[in-house]
């Protein structure tokens, strides 16, 4: 009993530590410091639980242990009764299969899963529990597009309340019905998607701007007439005209402001302006539109010689001691300003292709030709984890600024502090955030910015970006996409982000990148963001060991996935 209870404590402590590590990775500032404190406590609890397991049967069974075990059994019995365990096995299989688990993975050990698959398993557990409210924090992280589309369809069928925090714009556009924004320590509610809210805000800003402009002209006209009336009254000595001028001035001082109510009718003081105010009319309030994040990337130098940067010819690859190729017959070319993306389910070989491009892996057959003088900048899926695992240097924790300067110093390149500060600030790590906040206390999105800054200090001729949008907030994703559209070098993108792929690789405008954007174009992004002559690239689908050009881009791939999902559903019903 003692050993079983110790094992259970260890499992709970391990889960608590995983949650604490995840929270510490995503938070910064004061909240990051608090999360780091919880992380340290969770580490201590895990070590204590691990020590108890190692002591094993040497410990004697105390009465408190028996009481705790009986209490846990009672709680488990109640949980099994409430959750109807007998019906959950089939439901769990359906959910796990929808999230991409093979039958072998479903039947296998949880401890043998990678971190990404453990996150999927936790998500599956949340979906399985029959609750009144379902809270999901970044559920599409670590999901491939197949699993994301399944999750969208699953959530659309839910009758319970679902509250989602996500940076995936397309996911929110397809799932949510209402939006809650946190602004100035308060909540603001909007009946519609975040995209609809953004466009509504721009419409409102445009409307109130016109109202303020019209009111300003009207006020200027009234003030001119008052001044003219005063001058005329003084010359003629007309007392009636002077009283009329004073009346106009009083009205201007006391009753100048909005002339329409919030419902569009005529403004009435006793109905539309409750409470104490300095004037009898409220001014036209212009809601502050959230500032768009701007990101300016340095451009690479031109190569002195012509020629393509990367060329694959009938490339195949398999790992040692395995029988089957991961990919085979892969042929594609990326020119000096080319654009190319690889999309597909996890485990199909997208990251393997990226490593073949880099030269970290050598093809089993076929040929890979690289430009002899090009420089490649590689953002990998593990970039954030590598920054999180940075060792402390001395007593002072490593900050983004310290790591940035030390990184290039180790490569023999001296970087001035003011230049480093300016560069990091341009990529979203300004001021004290870069110089005072430890790297471990940065959020996941801020670590992405730091990793990207290390790549872009010496702009590469080829940017190889593997899931760069994970952890990054929506405004920064938009800014990154727009800056990459203007990048003069080549880009190879591995992504599950539909919107990002359409904007960066397929060359569509940010507004057009939404599947069903029927919103007023007058409120869309300015044309300056969507310059002419945007480079358009190719979207390639990776699956079944093959790489296929997808002429219809992300839209065509979504259609393929949806057909595959429909066939699985029909097969499940028939079975």
291 φ, ψ (degrees, to nearest 5) = -65, 135
Span 271-289, pLDDT tens digits:
555 555 445 555 555 566 5
Same domain? For 185 and 254 the reply is yes
Residue 528 scores a pLDDT above 50: no
The whole-number pLDDT of residue 571 equals 79
Residue 6 scores a pLDDT above 80: no
Same domain? For 485 and 563 the reply is yes
Does some domain include residue 567?
Answer: yes
Mean pLDDT, rounded, for 1-17: 74
The Cα–Cα gap between 152 and 496 comes to: 14
Same domain? For 132 and 61 the reply is yes
Q: Burial-class residue 31 by CB neighbours within 10 Å (0-12, 13-18, 19+).
A: middle
Span 367-395, pLDDT tens digits:
999 999 999 999 998 888 888 877 765 56
Does some domain include residue 556?
Answer: yes
Residue 427 scores a pLDDT above 90: no
Q: What six digits make up the tokens of 266? A: 């005529």
CA distances, 375 to each of 357, 464, 493 (Å): 12, 11, 16
pLDDT band at 310 (very low <50, low <70, confident <90, very high): very high
Mean pLDDT, rounded, for 352-379: 94
Same domain? For 130 and 26 the reply is yes
pLDDT band at 546 (very low <50, low <70, confident <90, very high): very high
pLDDT band at 68 (very low <50, low <70, confident <90, very high): low
The whole-number pLDDT of residue 510 equals 82
User: How many CA atoms does the CB half-sphere of 22 hold within 13 Å?
Assistant: 15
Does some domain include residue 13?
Answer: yes
- Residues with Cβ within 8 Å of residue 196, at least 6 apart in sequence: 179, 190, 519
Tell me if 170 sits within 8 A of 523, measured CB to CB: no
Q: Which residue has the higher pLDDT, 211 or 193?
A: 193
* Of 371, 424, 368, residue with least CA distance to 400: 424
Which of 258, 290, 322 terminates a domain? The answer is 290
Same domain? For 204 and 119 the reply is no
The whole-number pLDDT of residue 289 equals 57
pLDDT band at 524 (very low <50, low <70, confident <90, very high): very low
pLDDT band at 216 (very low <50, low <70, confident <90, very high): confident
DSSP string, 409-437: HTTT----HHHHHHHHHHTT--HHHHHTS
Same domain? For 136 and 268 the reply is no
Tell me if 411 sits within 8 A of 403, measured CB to CB: no
The whole-number pLDDT of residue 516 equals 46
The whole-number pLDDT of residue 195 equals 85
Residue 52 scores a pLDDT above 60: yes
Mean pLDDT, rounded, for 140-152: 88
The whole-number pLDDT of residue 514 equals 73
Range list of H helices, 312-364 = 350-358
Residue 497 scores a pLDDT above 70: yes
Per the structure, the complete domain to which residue 477 belongs is given by 310-375+458-574
Residue 423 scores a pLDDT above 60: yes
Parallel, antiparallel, or unpaired for β 538-543 and 339-343? Answer: parallel
Span 500-519, pLDDT tens digits:
999 999 988 887 877 544 44
Q: Which residue has the higher pLDDT, 270 or 395?
A: 395
3-state secondary structure at position 367: strand
The Cα–Cα gap between 369 and 311 comes to: 5
Does some domain include residue 478?
Answer: yes
What is the percent of the chain where pLDDT is above 90? 31
pTM for the whole thing?
0.73
Does some domain include residue 396?
Answer: no
Does some domain include residue 418?
Answer: no
Does some domain include residue 193?
Answer: yes
Q: What total number of domains does the chain contain? A: 3
pLDDT band at 520 (very low <50, low <70, confident <90, very high): very low
Same domain? For 285 and 323 the reply is no
Same domain? For 150 and 187 the reply is no
Does some domain include residue 199?
Answer: yes
Span 75-105, pLDDT tens digits:
766 665 655 555 677 788 889 988 888 888 8
Which of 290, 324, 345 terminates a domain? The answer is 290
Residue 425 scores a pLDDT above 80: yes
Same domain? For 9 and 126 the reply is yes
Residue 36 scores a pLDDT above 50: yes
Same domain? For 186 and 152 the reply is no
Q: Across the chain, what does the average pLDDT equal?
A: 82
Residue 524, domain CATH = 3.40.50.300
Q: Which residue has the higher pLDDT, 324 or 86?
A: 324
What is the percent of the chain where pLDDT is above 70? 82
Span 530-545, pLDDT tens digits:
455 678 899 999 988 8
Same domain? For 87 and 216 the reply is no
Same domain? For 267 and 343 the reply is no
Q: Which residue has the higher pLDDT, 86 or 455?
A: 455
The whole-number pLDDT of residue 518 equals 45
């Amino acid at each position: 009993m003692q050993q079983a209870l110790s094992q259970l404590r260890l499992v709970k402590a391990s889960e608590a530590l995983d949650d604490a590590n995840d929270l510490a990775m995503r938070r910064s500032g004061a909240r990051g410091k608090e999360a780091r404190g919880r992380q340290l406590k969770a580490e201590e609890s895990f070590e204590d639980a691990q020590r108890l397991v190692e002591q094993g049967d040497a410990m004697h069974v105390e009465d408190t242990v028996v009481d705790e075990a009986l209490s846990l059994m009672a709680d488990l019995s109640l949980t099994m009764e409430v959750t109807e365990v007998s019906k959950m096995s089939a439901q769990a299989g359906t959910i796990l299969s929808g999230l991409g688990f093979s039958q072998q993975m479903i039947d296998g050990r949880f401890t043998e899963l990678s971190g990404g698959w453990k996150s999927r398993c936790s998500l599956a557990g949340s979906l399985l529990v029959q609750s009144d409210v379902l809270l999901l924090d970044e559920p599409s992280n670590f999901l491939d597009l197949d699993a994301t589309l399944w999750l969208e369809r699953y959530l659309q069928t839910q009758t319970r309340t679902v509250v989602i925090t996500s940076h995936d714009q397309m996911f929110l556009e397809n799932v949510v019905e209402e939006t809650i924004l946190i602004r100035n320590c308060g909540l603001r509610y909007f009946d519609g998607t975040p995209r609809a809210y953004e466009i509504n805000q721009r419409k409102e800003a445009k409307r109130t701007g016109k109202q303020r402009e019209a009111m300003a002209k009207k006020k200027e006209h009234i003030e001119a007439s008052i001044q003219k009336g005063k001058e005329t009254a003084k010359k003629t000595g007309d007392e009636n005209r002077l009283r009329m001028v004073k009346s106009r001035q009083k009205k201007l001082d006391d009753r100048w402001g909005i002339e329409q109510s919030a419902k569009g009718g005529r403004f009435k003081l006793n109905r539309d302006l409750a409470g104490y105010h300095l004037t009898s009319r409220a001014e036209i309030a212009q809601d502050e539109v959230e500032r768009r994040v701007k990101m300016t990337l340095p451009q690479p130098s031109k190569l002195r010689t012509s020629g393509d940067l990367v060329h694959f010819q009938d490339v195949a690859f398999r790992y040692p001691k395995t029988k089957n190729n991961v990919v085979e017959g892969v042929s594609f070319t990326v020119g000096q300003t080319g654009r190319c993306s690889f999309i597909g389910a996890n485990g199909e070989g997208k990251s393997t292709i990226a490593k073949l491009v880099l030269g970290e892996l050598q093809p089993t057959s076929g040929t890979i030709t690289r430009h002899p003088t090009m420089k490649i900048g590689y953002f990998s899926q593990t970039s954030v984890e590598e920054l999180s695992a940075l060792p402390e240097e001395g007593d002072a924790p490593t900050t983004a600024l310290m790591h940035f300067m030390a990184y290039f110093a180790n490569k023999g390149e001296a970087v001035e502090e003011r230049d480093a500060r300016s560069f990091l600030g341009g990529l979203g790590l300004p001021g004290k955030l870069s110089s005072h906040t430890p790297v471990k206390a940065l959020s996941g999105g801020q670590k992405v910015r730091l990793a990207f800054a290390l790549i872009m200090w010496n702009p590469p001729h080829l940017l190889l970006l593997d899931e760069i949008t994970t952890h990054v907030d929506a405004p920064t994703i938009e800014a990154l996409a727009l800056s990459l559209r203007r990048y003069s070098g080549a880009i190879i993108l591995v992504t599950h982000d539909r919107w990002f792929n359409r904007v960066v690789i397929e060359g569509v405008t940010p507004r057009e990148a939404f599947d069903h954007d029927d919103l007023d174009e007058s409120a869309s992004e300015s044309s300056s963001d969507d310059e002419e002559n945007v480079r358009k690239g190719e979207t390639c689908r990776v699956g079944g060991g093959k790489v296929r050009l997808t002429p219809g881009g992300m839209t065509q791939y979504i259609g393929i996935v949806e057909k595959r999902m429909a066939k699985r559903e029909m097969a499940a019903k028939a079975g």
